[in-house]
Amino acid sequence: MDIAEAQKLAWENKLAKGFNTTDIALEFGLLTAEVGEAFTAWRKGLPDHGEELADVFLYLTAIAEMQGVDLADAVRQKIAKNTRREYAPGSNGALMRTSQD
């Protein structure tokens, strides 16, 4: 399954179940909660950590759909942008971007 198909199926499920499809702020809040659940599942080594990551993805696709964003295209563009960027260690050892986009 690709990103576009997942976005479409997730949206159709929201419509079919009567879930929120208009309150973007609520979706961002729920996305944040799902990120927390995914972190907790990973930290505790729970077997459902993959399912929690899938929840994060599904909330993200819903937000994209609510805003008319083709998430697959946005991801493709962002990956291309990231491949052009260059980084070097800063004074504290953290990587710092050294090129302009």
Spans of the chain below 70 pLDDT? none
3-state SS of 13-78 is HHHHHCCCCCCHHHHHHHHHHHHHHHHHHHHCCCCCHHHHHHHHHHHHHHHHHHCCCCHHHHHHHH
Rounded distance between C-alpha atoms, residue 87 and residue 64, angstroms: 29
Tell me: the pLDDT tens digits for 42-71? 999 999 999 999 999 999 999 999 999 999
- The reported pLDDT for the residue numbered 100 is 79
With H, G, I as helix, E, B as strand and everything else as coil, classify residue 2: coil
- The reported pLDDT for the residue numbered 48 is 96
Q: Domains (ranges, CATH) in the chain?
A: 3-97 (1.10.287.1080)
- The reported pLDDT for the residue numbered 77 is 97
